[in-house]
Structure 1
Amino acid sequence: MKKVLPTMMLIAALSSCSSTKNMNTATISQAATLLSSLSSNATVQQVASLFSLLDTNNDETVSSSEAIGSIADNFGVLDTDNSAGLSLTEMEGILALLK
């Protein structure tokens, strides 16, 4: 129950954001659930799944408007090449932040 309430609050907040209006609500929900389940034991496979959910325009990068939660909060740290988009390799940096 402790993870359900924050996840639901995140989904509600994201649903009201204009930058996520073009994102499918089910995709947002899946991404928020997966993101909330990440821990210090998270795997590259989980991050890759999250990356696929967030890359809504399929350009192989996650832009700041596609990022949610801790990915959005740490976007500047994760974007190591300052390209304004996260590659899968850069997004895997979230694993180091979870430890």
Structure 2
Amino acid sequence: MKKIAAIILLSLSLFSCNVYNNMTSSNFKQAQTLLSSLSADSSVKQISTLLTLLDTNKNNTLESTETVGAVEENFNLLDTDHNLSLSLEELKGLLPLLKK
């Protein structure tokens, strides 16, 4: 049982590292810049661009391992259906949380 738990933990750790390795530094910098420029008045197009930049596995949702900054800090609040990922619709919920 301990071996199985260790294998699962190791696999999750490697997956987490892989997600960040898959994100190019350019995408990461662009996402950070975009995120820092967002406000409550930002557009849905900007949120969609943020989703595209952060979505390293290209499944059109963000898992917690793909998030940074305010998205990461508010992940559980934004995940309204509690499926451990954020859709574009859920990610739009970030806008009211940002300062004008």
TM-score of Structure 1 vs Structure 2, range by shorter chain:
0.7 to 0.9
Please name the residue that 2:68 is paired with. Answer: 68
Matches within 5 A, 1:16-95: 18=17, 20-95=20-95
Q: CA deviation at 1:21?
A: 2.8
Distance in 2 separating the partners of 1:23 and 1:95: 24
TM-score (norm 2): 0.77
Q: Which has the larger radius of gyration?
A: 2
Unaligned runs of 5+ in 1: 1-16
Of all paired residues, the percent bearing the same amino acid is: 46
Unaligned runs of 5+ in 2: 1-15
Distance in 1 separating the partners of 2:61 and 2:39: 23
CA deviation string 1:15-69 (max 9, x = no partner): xx94523311000000000000001221111101101111111111100000110
Q: CA deviation at 1:95?
A: 0.8
SS at match of 1:21: helix
Distance in 1 separating the partners of 2:58 and 2:20: 15
Q: CA RMSD in A?
A: 1.5
1:40 partner amino acid: A
How many equivalent pairs are there?
83
